[in-house]
Copies of this chain bind each other. A is one copy, B any other.
Amino acid sequence: MALIVQKYGGTSVGSVDRIQNVAKKVIASRAKGHDVVVVVSAMSGETNRLIGLARSIIDPPNARELDTIMSTGEQVTIGLLAIALEAQGCPARSYTGAQVRILTDSAFGKARILEIDDKAMRADLAQGRVVVVAGFQGVDENGNITTLGRGGSDTTGVALAAALKADECQIYTDVDGVYTTDPRIEPRARRLDRISYEEMLEMASLGSKVLQIRSVEFASKYNVPLRVLSSFEDGEGTLIAPEDETMEQALISGIAFNRDEAKLTVLGVPDKPGIAYKILGAISEANIEVDMIIQNVGADGSTDFTFTVHRNDYKKALEILQSTATAMGARQVLGDNHIAKLSLVGVGMRSHAGIASKMFGALAAESINIQMISTSEIKISVVIDEKYLELGVRVLHAAFGLEEAA
């Protein structure tokens, strides 16, 4: 018998029928002898509806009050799921974040969990009840309702699993696991049985939207085994867990990509200390986040400086950069918002040489030009022309043998 925390997202509880279906899945887990704590999101569309009401008064609305309003979305779902469980003969009890006492700081809209009181939940589990907890929300020390920010229900699930020392935190979603790459681009993409926290973090931050980065970080910090599963189909999903030393490690776990970025370059910047600071200082003052940064040393005492930003920030960043560049006497500013980032992710690459050259070779064989390169211990990213994105993904997927075994 194990203690399992299951989290169901907005799509999984998007209608009364789907909530009934979730109740069936919970009851099936109980039938295997497990104790179950369920975390649910608001019914899909509900959070946006509530935010819309508030914003129609003033935008942005008072943050404390917006959290009070938004938190009702999950509160409705916990009640409905508890009713569905009871209706199917399974004792259940719902808890808001405040009722559990998921204590957070007071940063409304993006609160951090400080402490979870497990007493009430444990008492219910001991009495044979399923505990149904509202995701995404907590309460500060003054009794104000807080929310954890988008995707916060995943974080709630992992935090509860950590607090309860659960055997597994299962995240039910509309995909049946983590894939080597997006199956919509490479139909031969393979579901991974297992992936390490680190790899998952790289995959997530690079645009695989299966899990929130924050919840993976949390799981990694507290060593909570996470499993991504489908709400709608049966299957084992993908286990996200500490690196397993006993298993033969695959070189590459997957290929992530991202077409949300744009590239900006200043040509002919005087090659003096403080240049990078001057260029990026003005950008970050405008609250624009920078991803990749590359600086090439030039031969004539000047240098070229390139960085990427989110595509939504492209225009603003370009304007800022143009005035900075003029002020520092740079030769020219270039911009490109038709780029894509392609990344190989795998803990195996730590101990294997030649991954990078194999990657560059595979792309070169298809005449895909590499515009930027950036590497970390378990990742190699390249920026290419957006139009080669799908081709690039397929080429690398084949080159590293990631496809489904025949």
Task: Report A's interface with B, CB cutoff 8 A.
Answer: 16, 19-20, 50, 53-54, 56-58, 61-62, 64-66, 68-69, 71-72, 75-76, 78-80, 82-84, 86-87, 93-94, 96, 98-99, 120, 143-145
Most buried by B among A72, A87, A93, A99: A72
Q: How far is the CA of A57 from the CA of B24 in the complex (A)?
A: 13
Q: Which residues of B contact A143 (CB under 8 A)?
A: 99, 120
Q: Is the CB of A68 within 8 A of B86?
A: no
The 10 tightest CB contacts between A and B, nearest first, are A69-B79, A72-B72, A58-B87, A68-B79, A65-B79, A61-B83, A65-B82, A65-B83, A62-B86, A16-B56
Q: Which residues of B contact A58 (CB under 8 A)?
A: 83-84, 86-87
A388 to chain B, nearest CB (A): 47
Q: How far is the CA of A99 from the CA of B99 in the complex (A)?
A: 11
Q: How far is the CA of A82 from the CA of B290 in the complex (A)?
A: 37
Contact of A75 among B16, B61, B69, B120 (CB under 8 A): B69
Q: Which residues of B contact A99 (CB under 8 A)?
A: 143-145
Of all chain B residues, the one with the shortest Cβ separation from A98 is B98
Q: Which residues of B contact A20 (CB under 8 A)?
A: 57
Q: Which residues of B contact A61 (CB under 8 A)?
A: 83, 87
Q: How far is the CA of A65 from the CA of B82 in the complex (A)?
A: 7
Q: Is the CB of A66 within 8 A of B79?
A: yes
Sample of 20 more A-B contacts, CB < 8 Å, known A53-B80, A65-B79: A16-B56, A16-B57, A19-B57, A20-B57, A50-B76, A53-B76, A54-B79, A54-B80, A61-B83, A62-B82, A64-B93, A65-B78, A66-B79, A68-B82, A68-B94, A72-B72, A72-B75, A72-B76, A96-B145, A120-B143
Would A16 and B53 be within 8 Å (CB), given that A62-B86, A65-B83, A98-B98 are in contact? yes
Q: How far is the CA of A140 from the CA of B56 in the complex (A)?
A: 34
Q: How far is the CA of A143 from the CA of B117 in the complex (A)?
A: 14
Contact of A54 among B54, B62, B83 (CB under 8 A): B83
Of all chain B residues, the one with the shortest Cβ separation from A54 is B83
Q: Is the CB of A68 within 8 A of B75?
A: yes
Q: How far is the CA of A198 from the CA of B327 in the complex (A)?
A: 82
A131 to chain B, nearest CB (A): 13
Can you list 29 A-B contacts (CB < 8 A)? A16-B56, A16-B57, A19-B57, A20-B57, A54-B79, A54-B80, A54-B83, A57-B80, A58-B84, A58-B86, A61-B83, A62-B86, A64-B93, A64-B94, A65-B79, A65-B83, A65-B94, A68-B75, A68-B78, A68-B82, A68-B94, A68-B96, A69-B80, A71-B75, A96-B145, A99-B143, A99-B144, A99-B145, A120-B143
Q: Which residues of B contact A93 (CB under 8 A)?
A: 64
Q: How far is the CA of A171 from the CA of B144 in the complex (A)?
A: 27
Most buried by B among A50, A56, A57: A57
Q: How far is the CA of A360 from the CA of B160 in the complex (A)?
A: 72
A304 to chain B, nearest CB (A): 48
Of all chain B residues, the one with the shortest Cβ separation from A52 is B16
